[in-house]
Structures are given as C-alpha cells and as structure tokens.
Structure 1
C-alpha cells in the first residue's frame, strides 16, 4: 500500500489489474483504516481512469454475493452521491413510482455517507429488515415489482470501508463504484452524476458491462434530474440537453429539494411524495426521474408519454400501494 500511495501521490495511474487486486486486498482487511483513508483521499484529488474504475468494479463483482434477477430484466435508479446538495431521496422515490407503473426494479443502495439520508436510511426508517435471502427478495419482486439490495449485505468491500467513508464525509471512489456493482447485474440503469465530466466515464464502463443505460446530470451539479436548471441525458444511442419548461415543468429552487436535518425529516418527505401530498417541486422532480427510467426500458415511447405513465402511478395511488406491499413483505 505504501508503494501504491507513493505512486498515486506522484500522479501515476493504476492498471486495471492493479486496481482489481488493490480492492481485493482492502476487502480482505489487509490495510489499516488510515491507509485506506489516504487512498480514498488520493482519488478525491484527481480523476479516476476507465481502467481503474473497471478494475475496482471487477473486484467488487468478484466478491459480491450474487442474486439472480435475470428473468425480470429489472432497472436500478441511483445517483453517485457526493454532490453536496443534501436533497431528499429522489431516486428511491422514483423507484417506487416506476414499480407502481408495473416495471421491475432492483434498487441497490446504502446508508448516506455525504447526506443525512441515503437509500438504506429512508428504507430502514420504514421498519424494513434488510435481507440477502433470495426467496424473500424474489417474493418482493413478484408481489410489488421491487426488491431492495442493501449494499453491505452483498458487497463485503462496501462494509469494510463504511466507517472510513463516514468519517471522511466527502465523495470518494466508492460513490463512483456504488452504481456499478448492483449484485443482480440489472438489465437497465438510470444513473445520476454530479459532474458532466463523469458522464463519458460511465458511458464507457456501462458499454463494456453490457448494460442498457441512461446517465443524467443537472448542469448545476445535481446527481439527478433536479429541474433546478437544464439537464443532460446520455444513452448508448444519443445525448441531449433538456429544459424543465419544454417538459411542462416549472424550474425548481434548490431549497425546494432539501432533505431536512435528519433521517426522520427525509422519511417524512419520502412519504409525502408517495402519498401525493408533496410540494409541486418535490413531486415533479420524482416524476421526471421516473419518466426517463421508463423511457430507457421503453425507448419507442416519447418522454411526454413516459411522464404521463409516471404521473398515473403516483396520482392513482399505485406507487403508494407498492410501498405498503413492500413494507409488508420486508418487515
């Protein structure tokens, strides 16, 4: 590790094989927390390469506990985190809207490292007991179209660095890796990134992995479609910049999307969205993210039609029904 740190401090890059072995060694507990923190800090200070990210991903996928959802061809909706905006759980809300519309969702998430509430925080606030039991997860997928995969149960390396990430409190390479290591290898993925420079990086990695994807970025550096500014969407086929107004939405203000001061605040906002009692800005932000997820799975549909599908899921109560069934199965 000392040699690797010296190379990184000297602005050198790791090969794909070196990155893979390094993360395997971290997972095995070969290094003290101080050295792991130094490594994560080094990657905070420069861009990661495609080879490094691919190598790290291979290590996590090699050590993961797999779950087979291939027959469902599910989608995952997730952000890289670390944008510093402390938004409410937009992606997780969107997952329930998409599931309520009848699509299969395999949500992979973790506790928040740079915000008060990550996906696992808000799910746990609803009394959910995380599980890696395949029968329970398949029942959840069959009966409410959504299964939740808590990262620490499926990715030992995530658990081994959880304390270091929390103590650092900033975006690290694990924020970049999290969206790439869903243990079920979903057929589709909507990924939000906080920086335009990351869009091309993930495009290369997703293409190599064979995943149908859409990478989104709000141009004011949100790692989701926030409607606070123009946003860019990049897929395997094309890339385009949208304005909120052209999709029928008023621009949102950053304060409209705040997730509160603690997990309880975030959970209340989450429930307000799914019971259709949220503010227009909160509701519209969730709808537009759900809509682009639906369009990824239904590329022949116009985005306006996908927004209508998402809106019906939420306003008809189907998204809420999905949440209630999910809680019943997973308590």
Structure 2
C-alpha cells in the first residue's frame, strides 16, 4: 500500500488492473483501516479516472453474489443520489411503470444515504422481503416483469470498507460505484447523475466497459434524474442532447412539487399514490418522464411522444398499480 499511496500522491493514476487488484485486496482485509482511509482520501482530493473506476467496478463484479437474469435482457433505472434535493422515489416508481409497459426491469437499490428514503426503504415498506435467491427473483420477473436486488445482499465485498466509510462520513468513490455494480448485469441502464462532470465520467465508463444500451440523464439545475424543473441533458451511445420539458409536451415543475417527505413512511406513501394515480400532476409527470426515456432506451424505434403516452397510460389504466400489487404478492 505504501507504494500505491506514493504513486497516487505524485498525481499518477492507477491502471485498470491495478485498481482491480487493490480493491480485491481491500475486500480481503489485506490493508488496515488507516491505509484504506488514506486511499479513499486521495480520491476526495482529485477526480477518479475512467480506468480506475472501471478497475474498481471489475473487482466488485467479480466478487459479487451472482444472479443470472440475462435471458430477460432487463433494464435498470437508478440515480446516484447526492443531489441534496430530497425528491420522492422517482426512479423506483418509474421502474414499476416500465415493467407495467411490458419491459423487464432488474432494479438495483439500497437504503437512503443522502436522502430521507432510498429505493430499499420504500420497497421494504410495501411488505417486501429482500432475497438473493435466483429462483425467487426469476419468479418475480416471470410474474410481474420486475425483480428487486437489494445491494447489500449481492455485494459482500463492500462490508470490508463500511466502517471506514462510516467513520469518514463523506461521499467517496464507493458512492459512484453503486450504480455500476448491479449484480444482474442488466442489458440496459438509465442512470441519473447530479452534475455534468459525473455525466461525462459515467458515459466514458460505460463506453470503456462496452455497454451498448445506456442513457445518463442530468437536470441542469442539479437533480440526479429528469426532474422537469429545468432543461435536462441525456447522453448515450448516440451522443448527447438537451431537452426542454415544454418541447416534450410536459409542464415545467417547481422544486417543492417533488418533495419526498420527512420520513420513509411519507416517501412510501407518495410512491404508492403515484402508482395508484392519486398523486399530484407534478409527481406523476416526473415519473412518466423518466419512465418514457427508459422505454425509449429499450424500444429505440418508438418516438418520445409515444413513450410518454405509453408511460402515462400504464398509470391511468391501473396497470402500474397491478404490477406493484403482483410484485408484493411474489416477494413476501
């Protein structure tokens, strides 16, 4: 570790293979907490490179609890968190809308770290029991086209750094890694990020990893999702584009309209109301917008207006709610 730290403090970057080996050594307990904290601190003082991020990702995926859902070719819809806006669980609700539209979803999530309620908080409050059993996950996919993968069950290597991360109390490169290590290795991913620098980093990382179906979205006023509170930028394999809500036939929203509640119970109530079609128009529109871009990613020949119409119809018709109900039945 001494040689590694010397290299990093000399402003040199790790190769992909070096980064992979280092994270494996950390997970296997070959470094003490002080050494691990020093390594993490380096990346608090400078940006992580694409090779470094790919190497860390390689290590975690190699050490993951594997689950094979490849024959479903699912999509994952996720945000990095960290935007400090405490929105309700937009990407989680959008996942159920996309599944209700007939598309397979392997949703990877965790408890909230930078917001009141993460995806796992909401899913748990629906009465769902988390599982890493592949058979159970496949039954969920077969029954409602959605499986939920609670991150701690699939990434045991992260336990080795948990005490150090908790002691530091700040966001680290492990937060950046989270969206990249879905153990099901989904065929497509819609990822929301909270700044343009992260959008570029993830885009380059997807390209380096050979991912062919992805979209990284960022609302230009700082949200890690399509918030409709401002113009938003979408980058993918075909380049990048800036969209205005109005040009998509959607209203521009106010930040307070996306408030996620003061407790996980309040957040879960908002989530359920959206799928029950009893939410505010603003809450529904935000979910529809994110779901529409996910549908477009899976069905690239479908126009965005048609994707928006389809996402809206799944809520209006009650199909999104039925998907949620079936999901709960299959995962108790």
Q: Gaps (5+ residues) in structure 2?
A: none
CA distance in 1 between partners of 2:58 and 2:304 (Å): 34
Q: Secondary structure in 2 aligned to 1:48?
A: coil
Listed one character per residue, the Cα deviations across residues 103-130 of structure 1 (whole Å, up to 9, x for unaligned) are: 1000011112211211111111222111
Question: Which position in structure 1 is the counterpart of 2:311?
Answer: 310
Q: Give the TM-score normalised by structure 1.
A: 0.94
- How far the C-alpha of 1:243 sits from its partner, in A, is 0.7
Listed one character per residue, the Cα deviations across residues 214-256 of structure 1 (whole Å, up to 9, x for unaligned) are: 1111111111111111001111013110011111122112222
- Root mean square deviation, CA, Å: 1.7
Q: Is 1:81 paired with 2:71?
A: no
- How far the C-alpha of 1:3 sits from its partner, in A, is 4.5
- How far the C-alpha of 1:276 sits from its partner, in A, is 1.1
Change (3 A) 1:6 1:41: same
CA distance in 2 between partners of 1:34 and 1:324 (Å): 47
Q: Is 1:12 paired with 2:12?
A: yes
- How far the C-alpha of 1:16 sits from its partner, in A, is 1.3
Listed one character per residue, the Cα deviations across residues 180-213 of structure 1 (whole Å, up to 9, x for unaligned) are: 1111111111011111122222222212333210
Question: Which position in structure 2 is the counterpart of 1:177?
Answer: 177
CA distance in 1 between partners of 2:138 and 2:185 (Å): 15
Do the aligned residues in 2 keep the contact of 1:259 with 1:269 (CA within 8 Å)?
yes
CA distance in 2 between partners of 1:163 and 1:280 (Å): 42
- How far the C-alpha of 1:87 sits from its partner, in A, is 1.4
CA distance in 2 between partners of 1:170 and 1:274 (Å): 34
Listed one character per residue, the Cα deviations across residues 297-322 of structure 1 (whole Å, up to 9, x for unaligned) are: 11111101000110011111111111
Q: Secondary structure in 2 aligned to 1:82?
A: coil
Question: Which position in structure 1 is the counterpart of 2:223?
Answer: 222
- The number of residue pairs the alignment matches comes to 331
Q: Is 1:109 paired with 2:123?
A: no
Q: Give the TM-score normalised by structure 2.
A: 0.94
CA distance in 2 between partners of 1:325 and 1:183 (Å): 23
Question: Which position in structure 2 is the counterpart of 1:46?
Answer: 46
Q: Secondary structure in 2 aligned to 1:161?
A: helix
- How far the C-alpha of 1:170 sits from its partner, in A, is 3.7
Do the aligned residues in 2 keep the contact of 1:114 with 1:169 (CA within 8 Å)?
no
